[in-house]
Amino acid sequence: MITVMLVDDHAFVRSGIRRLLDQEGKVSVVAEAESAERAYQLFGEYLPDITIMDLNMPGMGGMEGIKRIIARYPTAKILVLSMHENAIFASQALKAGAKGYLAKSGLAEELPNAIDWVLTGQTYLGKEVAQSIATHAHEPKHDPMQVLSPREFEIFRMLLDGAELGKIATTLNISMKTVANYQTGIKQKLGVSGPVEMVRLAIRCGLIEG
């Protein structure tokens, strides 16, 4: 049996994924987590063959969760299952250490295949995401988000949501000075000076709707 850990803050989403996996017959869900923090704790306990993880969750979020799990368990196989079909999210998740990225819109059709690919050591990209990446590759304008590390990308998203530096520091368990340094570095890399320019850039990159 293939052992799986499900990580999503919505119980009904985890339940839906579990039902899909039960139909496969060869997959056993050994653990469920409602946050990346809890997933990190449970991973060492269960050492699942594959972890299926959302990105948007309360707390430190999936991107940081991937990074921390991979840092401690380098052979961990993590498949991201996200509502985001934007190429930026997929490239950042893979940069953080995920082995696959699947949009929730393609869940029923693609999940079994995605699991097989990731387990064999291959990188899997869902159809919608792969199409988005291909489109991005042919666009003449440079994608500024590619210059950010996964942690910088997450902090950038937190800043867009209006999170205070102290809140970000607590969530990521780092010092406020470190967060302030990240904020300065992010602004320099992206060539923005304040919140308004950050929002405009995020809209242009498709991270938020204008």
Q: What is the mean pLDDT of residues 167-192?
A: 95
Q: How far is CA 170 from CA 53, 149, 176, in A?
A: 22, 20, 8
CA gap 21, 39 in Å, rounded: 19
Q: DSSP string of 10-28?
A: -HHHHHHHHHHHHHHSSEE
Q: What is the mean pLDDT of residues 160-169?
A: 93
Contact yes or no for 144/205 (Cβ under 8 A)? yes
What pLDDT does 34 receive?
A: 97
Q: Where in the chain is the domain with CATH 1.10.10.10?
A: 144-204
Q: At how many degrees (to 10) do helices 61-72 and 36-46 cross?
A: 30
Q: Which of 2-6, 36-40, 43-47, 108-112 has the lowest mean pLDDT?
A: 108-112
CATH code of the region 144-204: 1.10.10.10
What pLDDT does 209 receive?
A: 66
Q: Where in the chain is the domain with CATH 3.40.50.2300?
A: 2-137
What pLDDT does 85 receive?
A: 84
Q: What is the mean pLDDT of residues 102-126?
A: 90
The strand ranges marked E within the chain are 2-7, 27-33, 50-53, 78-82, 100-103, 124-125
Topology of 2-137 in CATH? Answer: Rossmann fold (3.40.50)
Smallest CA-to-CA distance from 41 within 20, 27, 59 is with 59
Q: How confident is the model at residue 186 (pLDDT cuts 50, 70, 90)?
A: very high
What pLDDT does 206 receive?
A: 82
Q: What is the share, in percent, of the chain residues with pLDDT greater than 70?
A: 95
Q: Is the pLDDT of residue 91 over 60?
A: yes
Q: What is the mean pLDDT of residues 2-9?
A: 97
Structure confidence by residue, pLDDT tens digits, 127-161: 888 877 766 655 545 678 889 999 999 999 999 99
CA gap 169, 3 in Å, rounded: 34
Structure confidence by residue, pLDDT tens digits, 41-73: 999 999 999 999 999 998 999 999 999 999 999
